Amino acid sequence: MNQMRLFAFDFAGPAHLSAGLWRHPADRGGEYKSVKYWVEYARLLEEACFDGIFFADNVGYHDVYNGSVAEALKDAAQIPANDPAFAIPAMAAATTHLGFGVTSTTAYDHPYALARKFATLDHLTNGRIGWNVVTSYADSAARNLGTGVQRAHDDRYEVAEEFIDVALKLWEASWEEGSVVSDAASSTYVDPQRVHPIEHEGKYFTVPGIFLCEPSPQRTPVIFQAGGSSRGVALAAATAEAVFMNATSKAGLKKQVDSLRRQAEEAGRNPAHIAVLQMITVISAPTDAEAREKYEDYRKLVSYEGAMARYSGWTGLDMSTFDPDVPLRHVKTNAGQTMVDIFSKMDPEKEWTPRDIAEYIGIGGTSPVIVGGPETVANELTAWMDETGINGFNVAHAVKYQDIKDFTEYVVPELQRRGVMRSAYEGSTLRESLFGAGNSRIANDHPGAVYRDSLSSNALQGQQS
């Protein structure tokens, strides 16, 4: 089995996926505004040899439940939400190897500005940055940042395809290697003959000029994606280097992994050039009994309204219109049946009510939850990898900071003892952390490599002339 890749899944706000758990006395979510908190967190993860921290983000907010944002605000359901990118340079300055995945949307950003943002972060982290590509789903984001109307689903992915293409051109096809000469004698910092306009003119974007930034250590940040739709999977197969999945069972996950890798091969890529990471929530302690006791303690704090505020936002369905204790199979609407189908795959014998759903997603959102001591958790994590072909996990939490700290204290030593997790880093960039030393740049079969090759051809022609 390949060594397990691990990211801590977090959010630059007081609470993320778990509902009501911010009230736990050990929760440190209220410190999200403190750079010292994030620096401490980064050091904790690096000491445990995590690949990185992955920041989810949302430029909208959950205002579907009861037709209002009120319950989301009351439970800090992904609001308030700071921009995570601003904490990363401080976290990087306090660490040497830890990577940073940052979510940025193709719906409301512009590729020229986004490319500059990530090149800057790649410089400041010395090559430890990744971009999680999202197309955005919240109507509230469309109202505040866009035209007021959300694009159709497939249209959003069409925009994303061109957006990524423009960004790749800027990172890979504008500045040649060695373009920064810093030659005092000729009074030349950048050789203008080695910097080229990308001359992009497409359906959604026109970007004719040169890039603003000199090449960063990775040039292109590691490209992450988490799309689960057919269009999302196709985009990931073509362009992603790491894909986050959120399956509810090992069997379901294996189907998703096999489909992704098959489509990557059809797109002309080596499937091994995509790291697949499953979202998981782990509640650990020195023993199984103590972990179970902790989990039961957590369950008492789950907020029904907070969970429904999140779920309504995720699905676009106002869950306040359903009786909390009536099985959804009795709801004679397509929407109700769709929600039943999501959960019936986990437990076909169970008749799921909205309250059941709230209890399930209240801890760790829709991810599977593993509860146990070091051996139990390690057994389960390795089983997920062995049976599905994934490369590792995006580890979520219920109680902010504390659950990840417990994971590093109890589970990581057991994983390292078994040899399934690293105890030292390879290389220095995020891409090297995922794919091995010497792999700081996108692989030759990545679509961005075409632009790199064209730039090399331009450079060769310039030398010959």
Same domain, 31 and 116: yes
Please report which confidence band the pLDDT of residue 211 belongs to, taking 50, 70 and 90 as the band edges: very high
pLDDT for position 151: 61
Residue that is last in its domain, among 316, 333, 361: 361
Q: What is the DSSP annotation of 106-142?
A: TTTS-HHHHHHHHHHHHHHTTS-EEEEEE----HHHH
Please report which confidence band the pLDDT of residue 206 belongs to, taking 50, 70 and 90 as the band edges: very high
Section 201-218 average pLDDT: 96
CA separation for the pair 355, 319 (Å, rounded): 10
CA separation for the pair 119, 125 (Å, rounded): 10
Q: C-alpha 162: how far from its chain's center?
A: 20
pLDDT for position 130: 97
Same domain, 108 and 145: yes
CA separation for the pair 240, 255 (Å, rounded): 18
Token pair 């008749």 is found at 351
Note whether 425 and 97 are within 8 A (CB).
yes
Section 366-390 average pLDDT: 96
Same domain, 243 and 169: yes
Same domain, 353 and 378: no
Same domain, 317 and 206: no
Please report which confidence band the pLDDT of residue 157 belongs to, taking 50, 70 and 90 as the band edges: confident
Same domain, 352 and 398: no
Note whether 310 and 62 are within 8 A (CB).
yes
Same domain, 352 and 281: no
- 303-357 per-position pLDDT tens digit: 999 999 998 888 788 889 888 988 876 555 444 445 556 676 666 677 888 899 8
Greater confidence (241 vs 105) lies with 241
Q: Domain total for the chain? A: 2
Section 22-42 average pLDDT: 97
CA separation for the pair 146, 136 (Å, rounded): 11
Using alpha carbons, select from 228, 43, 268, 271 the residue that is nearest to residue 134. 228
Same domain, 343 and 372: no
Both tokens assigned to 19 = 């509902």
CA separation for the pair 90, 83 (Å, rounded): 14
Same domain, 316 and 176: no
Predicted confidence (pLDDT) at residue 426 exceeds the cutoff of 50: yes
Please report which confidence band the pLDDT of residue 379 belongs to, taking 50, 70 and 90 as the band edges: very high
Note whether 5 and 279 are within 8 A (CB).
no
Residue that is last in its domain, among 327, 344, 361: 361
pLDDT for position 145: 60
Give the DSSP letter of residue 407. I
CA dihedral 157, 388, 347, 22 (to 10 degrees): -70
Section 110-134 average pLDDT: 96
Predicted confidence (pLDDT) at residue 445 exceeds the cutoff of 90: yes
Token pair 């986990």 is found at 346
Average pLDDT, the chain: 90
Predicted confidence (pLDDT) at residue 464 exceeds the cutoff of 50: no
Burial (Cβ within 10 Å: 0-12, 13-18, ≥19) of residue 195: middle
Same domain, 317 and 374: no
At 389, which CATH number?
A: 3.20.20.30
Q: What is the DSSP annotation of 348-389?
A: TT----HHHHHHHHTTTTTS-EEEE-HHHHHHHHHHHHHHH-
Section 418-446 average pLDDT: 95
Residue that is last in its domain, among 314, 329, 361: 361
Same domain, 150 and 291: yes
CA separation for the pair 282, 91 (Å, rounded): 24
The CA angle 94-98-99, to the nearest 5 degrees, is 120
Greater confidence (336 vs 418) lies with 418
pLDDT for position 333: 47
Q: Where in the sequence is the domain holding 113, given as residue range(s)?
A: 5-296+367-464
Same domain, 332 and 391: no
Predicted confidence (pLDDT) at residue 204 exceeds the cutoff of 60: yes
